[in-house]
């Protein structure tokens, strides 16, 4: 084959026209650019999508899990509302509700266990009219008022009220 162009062909051809051997450098460059661009855009999208989770990581476990669930819902449903809610939840520090509730529950459990064992040890034979088993909450209120000591049997609510009235009056 000859390397000379046809006599009717223009003498200056632009570089994006493929050569006679079939190679197309512009298509090759665009294909590589497209693949690299799609990979970089996907990486940026997933990195941006994980932003609320990374922000909520410093907060408590429950808040982190809520943000993670909202992020997954946003990812799979393509609803941006979930992602915005996750982002707002990640920026807000939620107060810790579980620790005080767990403390209250464990304290009430200890009180109930203590007064159940005291009720079993001290048999109420009915000889003293002022002794009776009271609820744990009434016993705690009376104990905080200083009317029940560890060694004395528990008094009825009426007796506690009468003693309180004597002390106040």
Residue 62 to residue 84: CA distance in whole angstroms: 18
Beta bridge partners of 155: 131
Residue 16 to residue 25: CA distance in whole angstroms: 7
* pLDDT tens digits, one per residue of 127-136: 544 555 566 6
Which of 56-65, 101-110, 147-156 is modeled with the greatest confidence? 101-110
* pLDDT tens digits, one per residue of 20-66: 787 888 889 999 999 999 999 999 999 988 888 888 887 778 888 88
DSSP assignment of 99-149, as one string? HHHHHHHHHHHHHHHHHHHHHHHS---SSSTTB----HHHHHHHHHTT---
pTM for the whole structure: 0.46
* pLDDT tens digits, one per residue of 62-71: 888 889 999 9
Residue 4 to residue 24: CA distance in whole angstroms: 19
Q: 77-95 b/e with 16+ CB inside 10 Å = b?
A: eeeeebbebbbebbeeeee
- Residue 132 near residue 156, CB atoms below 8 Å: yes
Domain ranges of the chain: 38-91, 107-168
| Chain mean pLDDT for the chain | 77
- State the Cα angle at 158 between 152 and 163, rounded to 5°: 60
């Amino acid at each position: 084959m000859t390397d000379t162009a046809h006599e009717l062909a223009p003498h200056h051809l632009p570089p994006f026209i493929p050569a006679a051997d079939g190679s197309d450098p512009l298509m090759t460059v665009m294909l590589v650019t497209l693949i690299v661009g799609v990979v970089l855009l996907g990486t940026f999208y997933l990195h941006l999508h994980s932003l609320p989770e990374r922000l909520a990581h410093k907060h408590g476990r429950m808040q982190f899990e809520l943000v993670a669930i909202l992020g997954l819902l946003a990812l799979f449903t393509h609803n941006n509302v979930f992602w915005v809610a996750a982002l707002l939840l990640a920026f807000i520090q939620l107060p810790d509700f579980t620790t005080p509730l767990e403390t209250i529950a464990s304290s009430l459990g200890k009180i109930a266990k203590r007064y159940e064992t005291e009720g079993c040890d001290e048999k109420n034979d009915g000889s003293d009219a002022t002794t009776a088993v009271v609820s744990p909450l009434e016993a705690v209120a009376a104990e905080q008022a200083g009317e029940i000591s560890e060694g004395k049997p528990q008094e009825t609510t009426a007796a506690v009220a009468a003693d309180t009235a004597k002390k106040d009056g």
